Amino acid sequence: MGNKNKTISFRVNQDAFEKLKEIAEERDLSLSAVFRDYVDTLVAHDGKVKVVPEHEVDDDAGEDTAEFPPKVEVSKSFIREHERLELEAEHLRDQLDEYKQYVTHLRTKVEEDEDAEEVIRLEDLDGEEEGEEHPYRLG
């Protein structure tokens, strides 16, 4: 199947068409290439593209130097620390999952061995008569 190209068509008035044609000729592109570039930019920036005449872009460059999409420089040490913390968090999640599985295993084992009396309570030992032999010695 693959990635098939789709056709988009719309109508513009004669003046807009002529202006678009001039833009395409200035940039040595076809009209369809101009529209493809615009659509690609629109998709890449999630619909947040503002088309303005070039002279307005030049005027705004002195006032607002922010570029779109905004870029921020981050130091390599910050990136490394972030990656280290992500790996540590992943390791801790894995450990937590292992502990949860172990606790579940122990609970299951205790529930299965509920009838078997493996737990000896000190209170039970105190209640026995003195004459009986004690199988358990403390000390």
CA distance 60 to 101: 60
Q: Which residues contact 31 (CB under 8 A, 6 or more apart)?
A: 20, 21, 24
Please report which confidence band the pLDDT of residue 101 belongs to, taking 50, 70 and 90 as the band edges.
Answer: very high
| Residue 60 pLDDT exceeds 50 | no
What is the per-residue pLDDT for 46?
Answer: 81
Neighbours of 101 (CB within 10 A): 10
Closest CA to 7 of 49, 36, 41: 36
What is the per-residue pLDDT for 64?
Answer: 52
Q: Which residues contact 42 (CB under 8 A, 6 or more apart)?
A: 49
| Residue 29 pLDDT exceeds 50 | yes
Instruction: Give CA 113 to chain center in angstroms.
Output: 44
Domain edges within the chain: 14-63, 72-115
Q: 117 versus 120: which is more confidently predicted?
A: 120
Q: Which residues contact 38 (CB under 8 A, 6 or more apart)?
A: 49, 51
What is the per-residue pLDDT for 93?
Answer: 96
What is the per-residue pLDDT for 61?
Answer: 46
Helices of type H across 7-136: 14-26, 31-44, 54-63, 76-112, 122-126
Neighbours of 34 (CB within 10 A): 16
Q: Following DSSP, what letter does each residue of 88-103 receive, concatenated?
A: HHHHHHHHHHHHHHHH
| Residue 85 pLDDT exceeds 80 | yes
| Residue 119 pLDDT exceeds 80 | no
